[in-house]
Amino acid sequence: MNEFAILTAAEYSTRASVLIERQRFGQARSVLAEALASHPDDADLLYQSARVDYLTEDLQQALETVRHVLAIEPLHLDARYLLACIYDERKELPASEAVLLELLREYPEFGMLYARYAMLMYRTFHIDKAKALAREALRLAPEDELALIACAIGDLIEGDRKVPAATLSALIRKYPENADTARLLVVHLIGIGQYWAAKRIAVELLKSQPNSRENLELVVQLETLSHWTVLPLWPLNRWGVAATVVVFIATMVIFKLLGIFAPEHRSAFSNFMIAFMAYSWFYPPLLVRWLKRRAGL
């Protein structure tokens, strides 16, 4: 007699869920195939099947299965939440947001929904909204891992150096879509001049994907931008052409004022500015070359 023959649909679902949590996806598929042969329209079994497809990156099949679940049981909470995750992974962000907003209206007490919405807002660079959602998620679910990660991201953006490395590792490794989230956040943090925070995320991204040349080059770029020897160039790196224009105008103004009030210092100031321009032009490329050689690029 088959060992699963006497199991109910709920027992099959529980067994599959345990296997999925242990990442034994092949065994979970076998259990679910047998279970669905006996219970082809059981919503929970179909949901577990969609979970396996989602976690093994078969997003199209996961989407089709979730839609089947919702055709059978339109209010299935877990399936709707998974639908939001699938849309997120497929980069269909407005669709993901619509599902999450609907769920939040129905279940305003569920911290995990706020945490997931916060992660979505980080991906779309609505940073203040994301941080507010993350705080609400943590208030409602203080032990929820995604809520803790969402708050940690906000702390990183604020420049908090006490964010544990383990939390950053979880950001990259725990959820399938967070490598993309991490890259988007790195781009955003570079844009606002938070090079140190961007570097911490990029380093964890490299640890999770150590064979990625792209990630290694990103770390080298951020090592260059955050290196202590280029701190005088931070305004130029942060604001680009606008900062260059301001520096040029300020230099001209100072040079003219020195000519009026302290002509004896004009030569020293001129030499200083020439040295600074030479440093800004020639030193960063040399630093990049050295860091790339050190990284084996």
* Residue 195 and residue 222 in contact, taking contact as beta carbons nearer than 8 Å: yes
pLDDT at 261 over 80: yes
Nearest CA among 170, 179, 189 for reference residue 214: 179
* Residues 212/297, Cβ–Cβ less than 8 Å: no
Nearest to 80 by CA among 123, 105, 52, 47: 47
Residue 97 one-letter amino acid: E
Alpha-carbon gap, residue 161 to 154, rounded angstroms:
12
Distance CA 112, CA 150 (A): 10
State the pTM of this model: 0.66
Q: DSSP state, 232?
A: G
Residue 4 predicted with pLDDT over 50: no
162: amino acid identity, one letter: K
| Residue pLDDT, tens place only, 49-67 | 999 999 998 999 999 999 9
Reference 61, options 93, 103, 102, 89; nearest CA is 89
The more confidently predicted of residues 287 and 173 is 287
Domains and CATH numbers, the chain: 1-92 (1.25.40.10), 108-226 (1.25.40), 229-297 (no CATH)
Question: Model confidence over 155-167: pLDDT tens digits?
Answer: 777 665 555 555 5
What is the residue-averaged pLDDT of the chain? Answer: 84
Model pLDDT, residue 176: 45
Tell me what percent of the residues of the chain surpass a pLDDT of 90: 37
Model confidence over 144-187: pLDDT tens digits?
888 888 887 787 776 655 555 555 555 556 554 556 667 767 87
